[in-house]
Structure 1
Amino acid sequence: MRRTMIAGLIAVVVAVSACGTSGTSGDGELAGQTVDVVGTWSGEEQVRFEKVLDAFENKTGAEVRYTGAGDELPTVVQTRVSGGTPPSVALVSQPGFAAQLAKSGAIKPVHDKVEEAVVANYAPIWKKLGSFDSMLYGVYFKIANKSTVWYNTKAFESVALSPEQPATWDRFLSISRSLADAGVPAVSIAGADGWTLTDWFENIYLRTADLDSYDKLAKHELPWTDPTVKAALHELAKLFGDQKLIAGGSSGALQTEFAKSVTDVFGEPGKAAMVFEGDFVSGVISSSTKAVIGRDAGFFQFPSLNGSAPAVVAGGDMAVQFKDDEATNQFMQFLASPESGQVWAAQGGFLSANKGISTQSYPDDVTRALVQSVLDAGDNVRFDLSDLTPAAFGGSKGTGMWKALQDFLADPSKIDETMSRLESSAAKAYAP
């Protein structure tokens, strides 16, 4: 998931939560037991997650220790597993890494009560996403909605346009041309960060191909020369190939990093009317601009193509367990419950696919709308495709999907060449 990528590399820190108790005696049923948790979160996110851990401590009497490992989480986890000191639970944002851990036997399938909680509280797709070899290994605790387009209301008002939600891709392009004709570049694209371009492609592909094709492409059971890939690139070229729609044109976009693509829309002066990326755009708006979300900044869901149903490309942090003891099993069950998510939801900066969490638990209308769009998509949710592929293909700077789509942004007329390059890179990455 890209939230950890944009956060940058951090040092590994260990934060030990205070031991809480349940009841008046100070002795919960798990008193004296410890759950050791590793996650990516640091800073404010860690503070908010530790309140979730406090709630579990108070409920059970167990002690929870948390280590924030940032982008180094796979390395930290692998080192600990190799050294014979695995954590109890890790929150993993790369499904491929979780599958690797399951294949090696490092993590355990969840217990029946955990699976029952997942079935009760999540759409079936989330059980599927957390399963390997038909066994459930993970609970998606925190997710990202990566199918959102964020707009500057003042930019639309300046050219007498209403920031309506375009129902279709054609309408989105029409609005973009109207903005450009009025002298306002429609979209700021973070082409310097290749992962944003994979998200553009994935959202188009999810809406032009069927769900089965999306799943097969992620596994390389379909080649990247398949007609479904060509159809998606053809649609994407309608935007990438119209230089007046892009702030700075393709060359400017290729020099624009993610955070700057957001501030170019919501900073002063604004350089574009819209930016596409996940719900985490709101964090950049709040921390780096004076724009107020809900007043100066809004969002709409990625539009439909060819009558496609509402769909969401998602990322997420999946809890997997390395130990099979009562405290760990109860902690996993707690993470699958609405109770745990409500603790963080009330603090902000959190989305969950757990349908048992009332949308009123979230602090504002924008967050509630972001969550509702995920819930409404139901089983039309698919995990970030590039995160499902080998890192050499879907997650490496200067190669694979990132580089091929950067070159496509530079020259969107080269659809066939782009497909061939993608297939060549994929074939090497998936080779045994």
Structure 2
Amino acid sequence: MMMRRRTTLLSGCTALVLALGATACGGGEPVAAGGGDQALSGQTVSVAGVWSGSEQKNFQKVLDAFTEKTGAETRFVPTGDNVSTVVGSKIEGGDAPDVVMVPQVGVLQQFAKKGWLRPLSKTTEKSVDSGFASVWKKYGSVDGTFYGLYFKAAHKSTVWYSPEALDQAGVEAPETYDDMLKAGRVVSDSGLAAFAVAGQDGWTLTDWFENVYLSQAGPDKYDALAAHDIAWTDASVVKALTTLGKLFKDEQLLAGGQKGALNTDFPGSVEKVFGPQAEAAMVYEGDFVAGVAKDQFGRAIGEDADFFPFPAVGGGEAPVVSGGDAAVVLKDGKHPEAAMKLLEYLATPEAAAVWAKAGGFLSPNKDLDPASYGDDVTRATAESLVAAGDSVRFDMSDQAPAAFGGTKGVGEWKILQDFLRDPSDPEATAARLEAAAAKAYED
């Protein structure tokens, strides 16, 4: 694994950068977050986002650290999953939040094109230029203007497994997709299903497809398909569906078979591997699997729950698919100055370290000291994400219009569920995907 530059969070230049009103190293404009001089006392920054439970609790720790430094109070506004509708309603009602944590590239682009967003400050932009791979700025920009700071990232190219189950079957972590299926058949011969697939949640199936497609077709094709510059009937899509179908049609590999997979949601898929009554050895999904395995089922991460990178497909490179939440500043918010200062703070490794210590978090900021993470597995996942640099590709379905890539029961989610149910005709599935995509991109 390629190691990245390590920094000490509060020493030297970084300490100066984090001090409120201090001049950034090498000159330039003042840095606005930090120092504790309470310069923003009397202002309250409202921050809207989808987070709930432990995620909201841990993000509040970051907001509290910002309050301690600047004096600005914060108020978190839960949006539920439909961020676009909730934020639009609040803007129309004259109660726009100051900051929104946007979970989808497509929604960020929608907000920008509606004229809802303020460009981020030069201070934030400088922090991102120096501390983040350029791909993160690309995904946060619309028509060349930088609107979205990716504060929290997800690594969606991780396959989680029970070390005990793989040890008992005598198999090791595979390096290719075909080897992963072979290992799965050996596991199933030992009496335990290979994979728990969360087919009830269509978004997990889009993630399966995206990893296969990125590795097999390559990043250029991935970018073209994400932008709908090539059709979903392209031969590369049919090939990826055929490859994915090798797993979906193999009853020996799926816990409960296709019917069982279609009746399993994401938490249920993790339970089937790490719960008290194990039914499978492996579950594919992002780094957030670890949080469920630890918090709900008491698994020790790195001991009785571990991961291997999603393996390379068809001679391609191993994929690194990511997701994330971008902080944006709304034009109609009541405290734009304090909102901008919050984003300047979120762009620092200091802010990322607060949540990294609490757990359930990855930062794309390469200046965050890996020691900030609380366990070796999370640290390795974060380093893998950062080491991928500009080869990271954002979740394709999150880049698409929500009607195609992000709505339950329709579009890509529904079509891939149907493909899981019957993977016998990849070409017909590709045609259905193209029809749904063409309609969504036109609307």
Q: Common fold, TM-score beyond 0.5?
A: yes
Q: Are the counterparts in 1 of residues 217 and 316 from structure 2 also a CA contact under 8 Å?
A: no
- Name the residue aligned to 2:80: 70
Any runs of at least 4 consecutive aligned residues in structure 1 with deviations exceeding 4 A, and if so which?
none
Amino acid at match of 1:167: E
**Could you report, residue by residue, the CA deviation over 1:170-195 in whole angstroms, capped at 9, with x for unpaired residues?**
22122112112222211111111111
- Name the residue aligned to 2:184: 176
The equivalences for 1:72-87 within 5 A come to: 72-87=82-97
- Name the residue aligned to 1:355: 366
Measure the CA separation in 2 of the matches of 1:72 and 1:239: 32
- Name the residue aligned to 2:357: 346
SS in 1 for 2:324: strand
Q: Are the counterparts in 2 of residues 22 and 61 from structure 1 also a CA contact under 8 Å?
A: no
**Could you report, residue by residue, the CA deviation over 1:10-65 in whole angstroms, capped at 9, with x for unpaired residues?**
xxxxxxxxxxx987xx8522223332211222232222212111211222222222
Higher mean alpha-carbon deviation, 290-299 vs 133-142, is at: 290-299
Q: Normalising to structure 1: TM-score of the pair?
A: 0.90
Shift of 1:276: 0.5
Measure the CA separation in 1 of the matches of 2:158 and 2:89: 36
Matched, 1:280 2:291: no
SS in 1 for 2:280: coil
Which of 197, 201, 206 does residue 198 from structure 1 map onto? 206
The equivalences for 1:24-43 within 5 A come to: 27-43=37-53
The equivalences for 1:213-252 within 5 A come to: 213-252=221-260
Q: Are the counterparts in 2 of residues 311 and 377 from structure 1 also a CA contact under 8 Å?
A: no
Pairwise CA RMSD of aligned residues? 1.8
Shift of 1:358: 0.8
Amino acid at match of 1:287: D
**Could you report, residue by residue, the CA deviation over 1:306-332 in whole angstroms, capped at 9, with x for unpaired residues?**
343343211111000114843222211
- Name the residue aligned to 1:253: 261
Q: Are the counterparts in 1 of residues 152 and 362 from structure 2 also a CA contact under 8 Å?
A: yes
- Name the residue aligned to 1:328: 339
Matched, 1:155 2:168: no
SS in 2 for 1:36: strand
Measure the CA separation in 1 of the matches of 2:178 and 2:268: 27
Cα distance change of structure 1 residues 329 and 306 upon mapping to structure 2, 3 Å threshold: same
Measure the CA separation in 1 of the matches of 2:236 and 2:84: 33
Measure the CA separation in 2 of the matches of 1:71 and 1:226: 31
Amino acid at match of 1:264: K
Measure the CA separation in 1 of the matches of 2:190 and 2:72: 61
Amino acid at match of 1:133: D
Unaligned runs of 5+ in 2: 1-32
- Name the residue aligned to 2:98: 88
Matched, 1:53 2:63: yes
- Name the residue aligned to 1:137: 147
Q: Normalising to structure 2: TM-score of the pair?
A: 0.88
SS in 2 for 1:244: coil
Measure the CA separation in 2 of the matches of 1:271 and 1:179: 11
SS in 1 for 2:83: helix
- Name the residue aligned to 1:422: 433
Measure the CA separation in 2 of the matches of 1:366 and 1:175: 22
Identity of aligned residues (%): 52
Q: Are the counterparts in 1 of residues 216 and 315 from structure 2 also a CA contact under 8 Å?
A: no
Measure the CA separation in 2 of the matches of 1:424 and 1:388: 17
Cα distance change of structure 1 residues 63 and 268 upon mapping to structure 2, 3 Å threshold: closer
Q: Are the counterparts in 2 of residues 188 and 262 from structure 1 also a CA contact under 8 Å?
A: yes
Measure the CA separation in 2 of the matches of 1:195 and 1:125: 23
- How many residue pairs end up in the alignment? 408
Amino acid at match of 2:395: D
Measure the CA separation in 2 of the matches of 1:165 and 1:129: 32
Cα distance change of structure 1 residues 325 and 398 upon mapping to structure 2, 3 Å threshold: closer
Amino acid at match of 1:373: S
